[in-house]
Amino acid sequence: MVDLSVTLSNLKLDNPIIPASGTFGYGLEFKDFYDINILGSFSMKGTTKEERFGNPTPRIAECTSGLINSVGLQNPGIDFVVEKQLPIMKKYFKKPIIANISGFSVDEYKYCAEKIDKQEQVGIIEINISCPNVHNGGMTFGTDVKAAMEVTKAVKAVTTKPVYMKLTPNVTNIVDIAKACEEAGADGISMINTLLGMRIDLKTKKPIIANKMGGFSGPAIFPIALRMVYQVYEAVKIPIIGMGGISTAKDVIEMMLARCNSSTNRKCKFKKSLCM
């Protein structure tokens, strides 16, 4: 049998397949359909300090070769995840997970990251500074070099586990953001999150999504993700988790050819779909 194992910041995965945050929840809905332990890992639902109901409905708009969503980081809050969700998850998923953390202030990022860092099940902490579906948080930190550095430094100061910064494509130059995160101490980069998009209902002449705009994901964004991963790989020395429109094995190979498969110890892992 072919050995598909990979190592990501000293965390060994049986294979590089990692469902992205926001697409897989906590794995509970999928475990009855197949043994999810065949996955390398998965990035759990994005978590904030307080419980969030999320954005008003409608939250979804269909597009050609993709989807716009504006869920708005709906989640039960970090305390519930740590006290209730992780113990349940441990019963059906036996491998280390990637914990996706989001926030509306630097202090909130620190609080959540420090709390999740203490959990045995967590192998990597993924810091979401790229969600386009919330106001005054998420993407706000990922579009400014200084803000990205501030969050990275703050989280690294209170954690012991590898920290991967999840970047937004909704910037002029994603390379600058990636380099800033690396300089601030990030152990790796996750990229890309969704592109900001919208749809308008021709009958009502109003936006379909209540929040007007949301995150556009799906096969249509793959060329953009590929280009950005290639650019960032050329600029940083830390690992990259590549995502964005990946839907086939051929997409994975193409992403690898964007130099994710360096002959050095730098590795690029792949998430099949994209988030938030």
Dihedral sign for Cα 195, 253, 46, 231, please.
negative
C-beta separation of 150 from 156 below 8 A: no
C-beta separation of 21 from 274 below 8 A: no
C-beta separation of 39 from 19 below 8 A: yes
Q: Which two tokens stand for residue 232?
A: 């960032």
CA-to-CA distance for 201 and 198, rounded, in angstroms?
A: 10
Catalytic residue among 131, 260, 268, 275: 131
Query: Does 268 qualify as catalytic in the annotation?
Result: no
C-beta separation of 192 from 169 below 8 A: yes
CA-to-CA distance for 26 and 167, rounded, in angstroms?
A: 22
Q: Which two tokens stand for residue 227?
A: 């280009």
Query: Which residue is it, tokens 């190979």?
Result: 253
Report the relative pairing of strands 214-217 and 195-197 from DSSP bridges. antiparallel
DSSP string, 130-176: --TTSSSSTHHHHS-HHHHHHHHHHHHTT--S-EEEEPPS-SS-HHH
- The 3 state secondary structure assigned to 49-114 is CCCECCCCCCCEEEECCEEEECCCCCECCHHHHHHHHHHHHHHHCCCCEEEEECCCCHHHHHHHHH
CA-to-CA distance for 47 and 40, rounded, in angstroms?
A: 21
Residues taking part in catalysis: 131
